[in-house]
């Protein structure tokens, strides 16, 4: 009897073990086996994620996808881009249609605790603003009472704008549209008086208007929008790969490492640099990657500052100032934990 009991217990233990194993997600192994990273991006937002003239995806959010692919495969081209609207993005991630979402998504409590997702880092500290026609002759969002305002559905923008008008006892009509193209078309076609979203996106969307110079972005910032890459809960190892791939870009900037100084960095005597390039320590292997994982990232996309300037900063059509997204050591709030 006792023996039977023991056997049953052992069988139960084995079953629990198998069930536990089956339920345990291993996205890194899945990505390696598939040979390509499935990255959720926006449907076309200049500077952040959009196709260039050759049909290649480029942008600041796209660089995060490329950095992860570089770390895993030593090839930033091994990414399958999945363009997603605001409404579609989180269900797509939850269902497993993408391995990571890198699409101007704001880190909020309900998206983590409610949707069972996790934000890996803040790649861009943003805030919500308004774009209006110059002809309106206003200098502050507080002068916008009575307007029709367009925004995309499924965003924090729609929620914040309601708070802002209510709090300031102003009336407004909210027009929520499902795609970014519809939002731009409605605003350009004067179906609404203002367009509201994260300020960075206002700069990107202004480029899509028939006469960009006829519109201004008001100085008011009505919310906090920390944007960053997102993964599903339940796969800590994958969260670490995404998080540290992004932090490698930030740490590279802090260490003064870019694609042109990599050779020098490989020979550096500085302990921080030795750890970064993988000459010292087992940091890559601890992530399930190779020792030179961070070198692969810098070789492919450069450091954080390079990606910022190339895509959305001074070297781009958007010309967004670095502002709070400067490194902490240069007066900003971008701060990566140390690689050690």
Ligand X SMILES: N[C@@H](CCC(=O)N[C@@H](CS)C(=O)NCC(=O)O)C(=O)O
Query: Which residue's CB is nearer to ligand X, number 193 or number 254?
Result: 193
CB of 183 to ligand X, least distance (A): 5
CB of 304 to ligand X, least distance (A): 19
For 220, counting Cβ atoms within 10 Å of its Cβ (0-12 exposed, 13-18 middle, 19+ buried), the class is: middle
Which DSSP state fits 119? E
Query: Which residue's CB is nearer to ligand X, number 93 or number 298?
Result: 93
The H-or-E segment that residue 274 falls in is helix 271-277
Applying CB under 6 A, which of residues 46, 82, 86, 218 lies at the interface with ligand X? 86
Identify which range of 100-108, 213-221, 274-282, 310-318 contacts ligand X by CB under 6 A.
100-108
Query: Which residue's CB is nearer to ligand X, number 70 or number 227?
Result: 227
Buried b (16+ CB within 10 A) or exposed e, 188-204: beeebbbbbbbbbbbbb
CB of 86 to ligand X, least distance (A): 4
Query: Which residue's CB is nearer to ligand X, number 127 or number 281?
Result: 127
CB of 261 to ligand X, least distance (A): 34
The alpha carbon torsion through 153, 198, 106, 51 (nearest 10 deg) reads 80
Measured CA to CA, the distance from residue 245 to residue 335 in angstroms comes to 14
* Longest CA–CA separation in the chain, Å: 89
Query: Which residue's CB is nearer to ligand X, number 27 or number 42?
Result: 42
Applying CB under 6 A, which of residues 61, 99, 225, 254 lies at the interface with ligand X? 225
CB of 46 to ligand X, least distance (A): 11
Binding of residue 155 to ligand X (CB under 6 A): yes
| Contacts (CB under 6 A) with ligand X, residues 227-266 | 227
| CA angle centred on 301, ends 269 and 259, rounded to 5° | 35
CB of 214 to ligand X, least distance (A): 19
| Contacts (CB under 6 A) with ligand X, residues 35-54 | 42-43, 45
Measured CA to CA, the distance from residue 7 to residue 17 in angstroms comes to 15
Radius of gyration over every alpha carbon of the chain, rounded to an integer in angstroms: 23
For 333, the token pair is 């709030």
Query: Which residue's CB is nearer to ligand X, number 185 or number 274?
Result: 185
Applying CB under 6 A, which of residues 27, 102, 104, 251 lies at the interface with ligand X? 104
CB of 289 to ligand X, least distance (A): 29
Query: Which residue's CB is nearer to ligand X, number 155 or number 251?
Result: 155
DSSP string, 192-247: SSEEEEEHHHHHHHHTTSSSGGGEEE-S---S-EEE--EEESS-HHHHHHHHHHHH
Applying CB under 6 A, which of residues 27, 102, 106, 325 lies at the interface with ligand X? 106
- Report helix, strand or coil for 142: helix
Site map for ligand X, 172-201, x if CB under 6 A? --------x--x-------------xx--x
Identify which range of 55-63, 152-160, 231-239, 313-321 contacts ligand X by CB under 6 A.
152-160
Query: Which residue's CB is nearer to ligand X, number 85 or number 334?
Result: 85
How, if at all, do strands 128-133 and 215-217 pair?
Answer: antiparallel
Query: Which residue's CB is nearer to ligand X, number 124 or number 172?
Result: 124
For 126, the token pair is 């943003």
Are the CB atoms for 336 and 247 separated by under 8 Å?
yes
Residue ranges in contact with ligand X by CB under 6 A: 42-43, 45, 85-86, 104-106, 152, 155-157, 180, 183, 197-198, 201, 225, 227
């Amino acid at each position: 009897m006792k023996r039977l009991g023991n056997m049953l217990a052992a069988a139960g233990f084995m079953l629990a073990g198998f069930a536990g194993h089956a339920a345990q997600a291993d996205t890194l192994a899945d990505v390696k086996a598939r040979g390509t990273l499935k990255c959720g991006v926006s449907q076309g937002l200049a500077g952040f994620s959009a196709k260039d003239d050759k049909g290649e995806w480029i942008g600041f959010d796209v660089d995060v996808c490329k950095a992860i692919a570089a770390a895993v495969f030593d090839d930033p081209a091994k990414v399958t881009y999945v363009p997603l609207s605001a409404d579609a993005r989180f269900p797509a991630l939850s269902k497993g249609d993408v391995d990571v979402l890198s699409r101007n998504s704001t880190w909020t409590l309900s998206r983590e605790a409610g949707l069972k997702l996790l934000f890996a880092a803040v790649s861009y500290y943003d805030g919500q603003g308004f774009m209006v026609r110059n002809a309106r002759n206003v200098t502050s969002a507080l002068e916008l009472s009575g307007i029709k305002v367009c925004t995309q559905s499924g965003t924090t923008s729609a929620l914040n704008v309601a708070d802002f008008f209510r709090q300031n006892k102003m009336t407004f009509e909210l027009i929520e549209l499902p795609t970014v193209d519809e939002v731009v078309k409605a605003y350009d076609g004067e179906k609404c008086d203002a367009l509201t979203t994260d300020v960075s996106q206002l700069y990107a969307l202004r480029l899509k208007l028939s006469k960009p110079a006829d519109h201004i972005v008001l100085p008011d910032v009505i919310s906090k929008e920390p944007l960053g890459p997102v993964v599903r809960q339940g796969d800590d190892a994958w969260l670490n790969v995404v998080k540290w791939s992004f932090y490698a870009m930030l740490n590279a900037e802090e260490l003064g490492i870019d694609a042109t100084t990599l050779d020098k960095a490989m020979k550096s005597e500085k302990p921080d640099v030795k750890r970064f390039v993988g000459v010292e320590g087992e940091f890559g292997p601890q992530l399930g990657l190779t020792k030179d994982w961070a070198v692969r990232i810098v070789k492919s996309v450069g450091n954080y500052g390079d990606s910022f300037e190339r895509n959305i900063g001074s070297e781009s059509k958007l010309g967004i100032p670095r502002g709070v997204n400067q490194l902490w050591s240069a007066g900003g709030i971008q701060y990566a934990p140390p690689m050690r």
